[in-house]
Structure 1
Amino acid sequence: MTRLPRNPDEILRARGADARPAARFEPYCAEREHDGWDIPTEQSLLRTEVAEERARSIITRNRSPDVPFDRSVNPYRGCEHGCIYCFARPSHAYLGLSPGLDFETRITAKPNAPDLLAAEIGRRGYAVAPIAFGTNTDPYQPVEARLGIMRACLRVLHDWNHPVALVTRGATVLRDLDLLGAMAARGQVAVGVSITTLDADLARQMEPRAPTPATRLRMIAGLAGAGVPVRVMVAPVIPVLTEPELERIMQAARDAGATAASMIPLRLPLEVAPLFRDWLDRHHPGKATHVMARVQAMRGGRDNDPRFGNRMRGEGPEADLLHQRFRLARKRLGLERVLAPLDCSRFARPPQAGDQLSLF
């Protein structure tokens, strides 16, 4: 495999990507060339930068048949967790940034997201349905502990009795158990916790700034203890590397309190494929060819199959066998296919100062 060129002046600590390849929309790309001068340059540690964006709208509408929601909110662009396989990496290309290191080191926060959310669900004619969070980047990534944008959004939904579905691997979700527990008591929240492996060393390589597998099991236990329905998401399942753990992950999550499970085979859209290949070459060179051969066996001979209906499940005997294993384990462990529908019937504008109190 051909390694992606990295910047030798940068010191990388706990990063998934190793390089900053140009995004697909950029008309030019820069390459380092030796100028004949052997003058040493000072290296510097690459740190995370957080910029603010004043968003003009916050609810994104979705018509994909592959996901069970039609609207979502993402308080952040980019994700410091740095998961090398993250399907959201290509979205940084729309900002003129690299889906490589830029995706995990140049984060954009939307501090006005809670106000926009309240305004948009408060519009006349708004039809309530569950809003999904964590569909692109993690709303509980490290910066959320300091900025609290996700908590403020959750407070809006709590006050409006609006149902919400969360997907996360960030331990800061436990900070919000007060709101999540109250919404769970009204049947208005469900949380998906992503676990890809139980091997802490492998997780550190793949997901360098995400919580450890043991911490994610504690997250499931904490959420379940507060009455929040939890779905374990074994996603992505990576052939050779994490696929042998499928049943063990589901068992550990069930024992921690999860009541439902889902699974998605590894998908490598757009710029993710070369980044993942580069990561394999750096961390698992002896398995790289085997991993990619198995991936392509489930993706019609390609690194990725973007077609609706196929992109989330794959195709062929390899994919069929994986899904059969998952279904058998789910049945044996008593894990539901989906969680109970969220309650939309209580949605209403919260009381405002000066409102006349109800007599009933």
Structure 2
Amino acid sequence: MAPPKHLGRLAEERRVRRAKEEDIAARDVSTLSEMDGPPEEAAPGIDGERRRGRGALSNAAGRFEPRAREAFDDGWQSLDDLPAFRTSVTVERARTIINRNESPDVGFDRSINPYRGCEHGCVYCFARPTHAYHGLSAGLDFETQLFAKADAPELLAKELARPGYEPRTIALGINTDAYQPIEREWRLTRRILEVLSDFGHPVGIVTKSALVLRDLDILAPMAERGLVKVALSVTSLDHKLARLMEPRAATPMRRIETIRQLSAAGVPTAVLVAPVVPAVTDAEMERILDAAAAAGASEAGYVMLRVPLEIRDLFKEWLLAHFPDRYRHVLTLLKELHGGKEYDSTFGKRMTGSGPYAWTLARRFEIAVERLGLNRRHTRLTTRAFTRPPRTGQQLSLFGEDA
């Protein structure tokens, strides 16, 4: 019995698409046969020892720079004397600290990012391209040349105290992790939480760090007042894979344990399977949700891998170095998610993608969430506790309003 005509047409379209993908990837994949050492050391000009503990493999100039730069060995071993990439922090004096957005596919309209750049080094981080606005690279510069908004807590207090301010939940650490390693020294996130607690202002936190547990003395009382929820982002439960993708973030099991301790302290917790990397981490979705639910998470979400601007080349470079056998397959799935493109920024599609592969992931997520009892109730934070504490020397109003 002959197959239906439409099935034959789909098979032919799939064959043509596969042939195109093979042509596109052939040049990159062919370079593997020319490598003398491990693929990871093939990044041009950046020796493995110099970037030890970092996620990106290269450090190309920012997209706004008039000149491109590339380290080049002239045969005199001049690159051997270059120092390893070290973390540096520059103080940034911001004029405001609350960022506003009108994106319809995120659950908040305002956020705070006390730091620019992120030492966690997640190779897929969607914030990497923002370093170009500072004349820096989205690669290793993003992980090593950081900025701290030292006066963020004071700016926040001023903005919240303005008479016309209307409280709504603030998302903390969305662009870059508010609990990245430099927070141990700078403590900006802790001081921001103290301000939010004083004002009775709701806040949602997303992090990959167990350092959030340091602030349980602030978070637990805020949770009792309905002012805080915390989401832990977990990409993989595989320790080795997580270290390749997120070299300076907490290990997967520490993140699961962080969910456990936050939940035990009464802080509403969620898990984000984010990002889902096609053909690399997608098989782990159910395992991650199982582990998080067992640890006490009550809510869950997921986000597909996004590769806008410089992230596309950084991710391809990383993928070719660590998973050359999956390189073509991953890119094929990415394009299937985005209608033939490697990335589609359209609202409503950029986080989840579309097509059969996206549909399958969504159904898997829904089935697992239903089985585990996640998302049956969503914690709604309150603005009823919001108040402007009196400033030093300020006379209180007879009628309970600001003087």
Aligned residue identity for 2:265: A
Residue 233 of structure 1 is aligned with which of 268, 272, 275? 272
Aligned partners of 1:8 and 1:43 also within 8 Å: no
Aligned residue identity for 1:91: T
Matches within 5 A, 1:183-222: 183-222=222-261
Does residue 322 of structure 2 align to residue 283 of structure 1?
yes
Does residue 60 of structure 2 align to residue 27 of structure 1?
no
Indicate the SS of the match to 2:324: coil
Distance 1:236 1:40 in 2: 35
Residue 212 of structure 2 is aligned with which of 166, 173, 180? 173
1:353 shift after superposition: 4.4
Q: Report the CA distance shift for 1:108/1:312 in structure 2 as closer, same or farther (over 3 A).
A: same
Q: Report the CA distance shift for 1:40/1:83 in structure 2 as closer, same or farther (over 3 A).
A: closer
1:168 shift after superposition: 0.5
1:315 shift after superposition: 0.6
> Residues 6-37 of structure 1: CA distance to partner in whole angstroms, max 9, x if unpaired?
33496121110011012211121123445465
> Residues 305-351 of structure 1: CA distance to partner in whole angstroms, max 9, x if unpaired?
11111101101111011101101111111100772211101100124
Indicate the SS of the match to 2:325: coil
Matches within 5 A, 1:1-360: 1=28, 5-8=44-47, 11-33=50-72, 35=74, 37=76, 41-336=80-375, 339-353=378-392, 355=395
Aligned partners of 2:172 and 2:205 also within 8 Å: yes
Indicate the SS of the match to 2:200: coil
1:107 shift after superposition: 0.7
Aligned partners of 1:4 and 1:21 also within 8 Å: no
Alignment gaps of 5+ in structure 2: 1-27, 32-41
Aligned length: 360
Q: Report the CA distance shift for 1:151/1:34 in structure 2 as closer, same or farther (over 3 A).
A: closer
1:240 shift after superposition: 1.2
Q: TM-score, normalised by structure 2?
A: 0.85
Aligned partners of 1:189 and 1:229 also within 8 Å: yes
Distance 2:67 2:131 in 1: 16
1:233 shift after superposition: 0.3
Distance 2:260 2:286 in 1: 18
Indicate the SS of the match to 1:233: strand
* Aligned sequence identity (%): 51
Indicate the SS of the match to 1:197: coil
> Residues 258-311 of structure 1: CA distance to partner in whole angstroms, max 9, x if unpaired?
000001111111110110010011111111111111121111122111111110
Indicate the SS of the match to 1:287: helix
Aligned residue identity for 2:61: A
Q: Report the CA distance shift for 1:39/1:255 in structure 2 as closer, same or farther (over 3 A).
A: closer
Distance 1:144 1:220 in 2: 20
Q: Report the CA distance shift for 1:353/1:203 in structure 2 as closer, same or farther (over 3 A).
A: same
Distance 1:325 1:265 in 2: 14
Q: Report the CA distance shift for 1:217/1:35 in structure 2 as closer, same or farther (over 3 A).
A: closer
1:43 shift after superposition: 3.9
Choose between structure 1 and 2: higher helix proportion: 2
Q: TM-score, normalised by structure 1?
A: 0.95
